[in-house]
Amino acid sequence: MKHLAWILPFGLCLAPLSATNAADYPVRPIRLIVPFGPGGGTDTSGRLLAQHLSTSLGQTVVVENRPGAAGMLAVDGVAKAAPDGYTLLLCDTSYAINAALRPREGFDYVRGMRPVARFAASPMVLAVKQDLPARTTAEYVALARARPDSLNVGSAGNGSIGHLSKALFDDVAGIRSTHVPYKGSSAAVSDLLAGQIDAVFGTLPSLVSHAGTSRVRLLAVMSGRRSTLAPDLPAAGEAGLAGLEAVSWFGVIAPARTPDNIVTRLDQAIARITQDPAFRQALARQGMEGDYAAAAGFTSSLTDEVAKWKQVIGAARITAD
């Protein structure tokens, strides 16, 4: 008991010190953990954000790639990190998909972490090979209805945003097509360009450079509105497919119990960055749009995304590799 009497006051003395440190945040470099390898869209967006966050916070933000286990290696690492704002997760749509496809006992992907802010997004795109007799989304749907399961549709892999976009599209449109999973979007797009598959659901950055070529035709963006990056490309809703929205987004998440003032500091910094014309132009060059959502809004949208993808996964009977 004597030992407890000594430890308790000492522990209480630490509380003001922690609060002071949080108020001074950041006083040392911040690690931004990217759950995939260098070179992809998630890594590119993370490095761009880190560069601007370093300037905004007046402290170095270092990107650390930690690929593995479909992104869960990075998630586990950040979830177990000290909740002091110095270890953050750069997450994308796969985070919500993992929550729906790879639930983990005792871990809540939304409430078990602290969503900080969303900062960018890029709509998914339906693209078809040039000689497919479908020049519009409506014609694609009519063709698929006339030939159930005959269209071979590629994606970046089982459980990818492309795969789930295809499943969502088929469900909303009331069609059936055959999924062809690849090990990455570039392989799927290459086979589309070669005419080996009929269609691909891919990200705008992976497909927009091929628009107008003689080998591929972009039919629609999977969002409720046209993208400013490809204003001539119709939105799926224009073909009467209401509620068909599949967007690749990017945000920042912190460990649970990260203090409110640290989350607010990061949130406000990201809000400023997303209004910076230089940042938005840099995003546009990568096929992304600035798409800011504050901590509360990001948490709400993340909850909705998990529920949406869980429904799509269940209806299409999708399983993790």
Q: Tell me, yes or no, whether 144 and 208 share the same domain.
A: yes
Task: Give the Cα separation of 160 and 56 in Å (integer).
Answer: 33
Asked if 122 contacts 280 with a C-beta cutoff of 8 angstroms, the reply is no
pLDDT, position 19: 42
**Is 157 within a domain?**
yes
pLDDT, position 4: 37
Helices in the chain by DSSP H: which ranges? 2-24, 41-57, 72-79, 93-101, 137-146, 161-173, 185-193, 204-207, 260-274, 277-285, 295-316
> CA 34: distance to chain centroid?
12
Q: Tell me, yes or no, whether 217 and 139 share the same domain.
A: yes
52-56, 114-118, 144-148, 238-242, range with the lowest pLDDT: 238-242
Instruction: State the total domains in the chain.
Output: 2
Q: Are strands 30-34 and 61-65 parallel, antiparallel or unpaired?
A: parallel
Q: What is the CA radius of gyration of the chain?
A: 22
Reported as half-sphere exposure (CB side, CA atoms, 13 A), residue 48 has a value of: 26
The mean pLDDT value for 142-158 works out to 96
pLDDT, position 40: 83
**Is 187 within a domain?**
yes
pLDDT band at 22 (very low <50, low <70, confident <90, very high): low
Q: Tell me, yes or no, whether 193 and 214 share the same domain.
A: yes
User: What CATH number does residue 213 fall under?
Assistant: 3.40.190.10
Asked if 295 contacts 263 with a C-beta cutoff of 8 angstroms, the reply is yes
For 182-193, how does the pLDDT look when each residue is reduced to its tens digit (9 = 90+)?
Answer: 998 889 999 999
**Is 274 within a domain?**
yes
Token pair 């998990």 in the structure block, residue: 306
Report the alpha-carbon angle 81-86-88, nearest 5: 70
Q: Tell me, yes or no, whether 219 and 254 share the same domain.
A: no
Q: Tell me, yes or no, whether 224 and 127 share the same domain.
A: yes
**Is 5 within a domain?**
no
For 230-263, how does the pLDDT look when each residue is reduced to its tens digit (9 = 90+)?
Answer: 898 999 988 888 888 999 999 999 999 999 999 9
**Is 1 within a domain?**
no
The mean pLDDT value for 69-73 works out to 89
Between 246 and 4, name the one with better pLDDT.
Answer: 246
pTM for the complete prediction? 0.88
- Percent of the residues in the chain that have a pLDDT greater than 90, as a whole number: 75
SS3 at position 38: coil
Q: Tell me, yes or no, whether 101 and 162 share the same domain.
A: no
pLDDT, position 17: 38
**By residue range, what is the domain housing residue 297?**
25-121+249-316
Provide the mean pLDDT of the chain.
90
